[in-house]
Amino acid sequence: MTLSTSNTIDFDSARLRLNHDEKARSSLIVPPSKPIRHMTLMGLQQRLTQQLQTSLEIDRVLDMFFNALQEFIGLNSLEFRHDAHSVQIQKGTSSMHRCSYRMTHAGDFLGEIQFTRAKRFSEHQLQSLETLLGNLLYPLRNALMYREALRFALNDSLTGIGNRMSLDQALSREVKCAARHHTPLSLLIMDIDHFKQINDKYGHAYGDAALKAIVSCTRNCLRDVDELFRMGGEEFVVLLANTDNHAARFIAERIRRSIEQMQFEIDGDAIPMTASLGIATLKAGEKEESLLERGDKLMYTAKRAGRNRIAC
């Protein structure tokens, strides 16, 4: 039978607990499940205070926290979830006995954390866990804030896909990877045809809705490994790792056809939309700037040839 306990822990209360009966805490030793050096609860707190402040990466913070608790209490696994931040991290392998905490601080939800071990948690171990969660407070909060800051810095605020900065980073990475492993790399540059007419006739709010619809439609045409970015305005880039020109043309045509067939309405009026796409495949020794420039020129070639078509 699985033992499961669930609690909500408010870090404001936890901080008060950290200052309570310090002498008793310093003498508390939890027998480890492995033949390692015993450590007092206070000793582990001091160790965690130093370690957890060395990283802003949430995976690294939780890794250090789990390793310390695994040594101290004999945990088998730690699982952390924060759906609003799209975070789900698991360390170790789940076991029979579980305890979980819903963490809050100053009214802000910081996520849910679950611990498991093969043996039943004792009352002392549960008290120690709750105390040590207090040491996770600021590192966890800072890691979540850092993750959110990166998301805003690298994502387009309107559509949620990668922005130009994100594209530059991904393109540099993939060009180096393709050169190192001798694998193909292609990209598509896509521009929405006559998009200015939608903004001029219906307003920018409807234009924004149209861009979101385009992004959703394009995503449905891509593989899990493909990456979609907004260059600016109505221009987008699809990065296709390990994809040659022939396969890239197949994906581009699927996108072109899906946008052409997309059902988009404004106040009951069907608004036809099409896209022009340029396809560029990385050449030996080529730099990312050149690859991007070739794709852009081919996109304009498709537009000059009549729009709603592909050039490669």
Assigned token pair, 192: 């929405």
Three-state DSSP at 188 gives strand
Assigned token pair, 122: 């004792």
Counting every residue written for the chain, the total comes to 312
Give catalytic residue positions: 234
Three-state DSSP at 312 gives coil
Order of strands, edge to edge, in the sheet holding 275-281?
A: 227-232, 235-241, 185-192, 275-281, 310-311
Who contacts 240 (Cβ-Cβ below 8 Å, separation ≥6)?
185, 186, 187, 188, 226, 247, 248, 251
Region class of 292: left (phi > 0), else alpha (psi between -120 and 50), else beta = alpha
Contact 124, 68 (CB under 8 A): no
